């Protein structure tokens, strides 16, 4: 399992790769445009080329693009729904330009006109985005939520329901597990057995394994639906919970991305160090058990 962090690109995309290397990233996540805007100028082809080249030079693991926060594929407003899937298509195209392997997106809210049909509404939006973006090797990953308010996608059952409605497009779509979101939604990830059960539930409900992890500790107890990230080991998941993560996902090779509050570079250097120690301990334990 490769470990990395979400990296800012305000200083430039190639420079973001240099920062990622300097703090110890083996993979990385970026925004392909401002996460709080619907649209932006096209990526400069020369900048994108330099980013891809720099990633190749340093051996950067998979690059992940996180979509804008405005996207709401469950919206009852048809204009907002269409704007959302068109924005998702744009994110997929930008990710391809950057040479990213994965795009992670939040799904949005329940479909108020028919809450039980939310998965169908979202699946239709995803399918429309994929068609507009066109053929691509970039995979789209649906991220679980903390289950606050009317947000949709708090667990494997809801994500699996969306996937089941995609038909042939399902081959291009997978799932990303955010640990803080899952914990906040009620899955107590400080518990080793919960980790095993949750990983099994994703494979059963989604008919596929987890393909990426956002590794974030949670500042509040499980089940409070509060999405407040904490440093690894400082929250209510704790170091034991992240040790259990490495054990539960051992051998999968999924990229593990930090999304930490705090000041750079300290927040990334320290949390990457903590995760590397836990990964090494998990590997050592596994080798002794053989």
The answer to whether residue 20 scores a pLDDT higher than 70 is: yes
Q: How many residues does the chain have?
A: 290
The per-residue pLDDT for range 192-233, each reduced to its tens digit, is: 999 999 999 999 999 999 999 999 999 999 999 999 999 999
Among candidate residues 6, 214, 274, 279, the one labeled active-site is: 214
Q: Is-contact 198 191, C-beta < 8 A?
A: no
Distance (Å, rounded) from C-alpha 201 to C-alpha 21?
A: 34
Question: pLDDT-based confidence at 287, cuts 50/70/90?
Answer: confident
Average pLDDT, the chain: 97
The number of folded domains in the chain is 1
CATH code, 274: 3.20.20.150
Among candidate residues 54, 66, 119, 170, the one labeled active-site is: 66
Among candidate residues 52, 54, 94, 106, the one labeled active-site is: 106
Domain housing 96: 3-289
The per-residue pLDDT for range 233-256, each reduced to its tens digit, is: 999 999 999 999 999 999 999 999
CB crowding 47-78: b at 16 or more within 10 Å, else e: ebbbbbebbeeeebbbbbbbbbebbbbbbeee
The per-residue pLDDT for range 70-104, each reduced to its tens digit, is: 999 999 999 999 999 999 999 999 999 999 999 99
Q: What integer pLDDT is reported at residue 74 of this predicted model?
A: 98
Among candidate residues 91, 96, 143, 224, the one labeled active-site is: 143
| Whether 178 is catalytic | yes
The per-residue pLDDT for range 112-169, each reduced to its tens digit, is: 999 999 999 999 999 999 999 999 999 999 999 999 999 999 999 999 999 999 999 9
């Amino acid at each position: 399992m490769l470990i990395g962090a979400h990296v800012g690109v305000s200083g430039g995309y190639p420079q973001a790769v240099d920062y990622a290397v300097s703090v110890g990233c083996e993979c990385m996540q970026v925004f392909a445009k401002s996460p709080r805007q619907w649209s932006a100028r096209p990526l400069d082809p020369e900048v994108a080329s330099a980013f891809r080249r720099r990633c190749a030079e340093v051996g950067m693991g998979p690059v992940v693009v996180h979509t804008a926060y405005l996207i709401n594929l469950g919206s009852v407003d048809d204009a907002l729904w269409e704007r959302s899937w068109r924005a998702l298509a744009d994110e997929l195209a930008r990710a391809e330009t950057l040479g990213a392997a994965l795009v992670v997106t939040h799904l949005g809210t329940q479909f108020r006109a028919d809450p039980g049909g939310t998965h169908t509404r979202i699946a239709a939006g995803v399918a429309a985005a994929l068609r507009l973006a066109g053929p691509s090797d970039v995979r789209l990953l649906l991220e679980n939520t903390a289950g606050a308010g009317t947000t949709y996608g708090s667990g494997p059952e809801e994500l699996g329901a969306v996937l089941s409605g995609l038909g042939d497009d399902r081959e291009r779509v997978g799932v990303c597990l955010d640990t803080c979101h899952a914990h906040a939604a009620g899955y107590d990830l400080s518990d080793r057995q919960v980790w095993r059960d949750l990983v099994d539930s994703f494979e059963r409900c989604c008919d596929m394994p987890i393909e990426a992890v956002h590794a974030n500790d949670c500042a509040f107890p499980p089940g409070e639906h509060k999405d407040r990230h904490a440093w690894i080991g400082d929250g209510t998941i704790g170091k034991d919970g992240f040790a259990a993560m490495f054990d539960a996902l051992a051998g999968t090779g999924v990229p593990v991305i930090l999304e930490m509050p705090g000041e750079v570079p300290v927040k990334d250097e320290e949390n990457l160090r903590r995760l590397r120690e836990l990964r090494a301990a998990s590997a050592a334990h596994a080798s002794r058990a053989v």
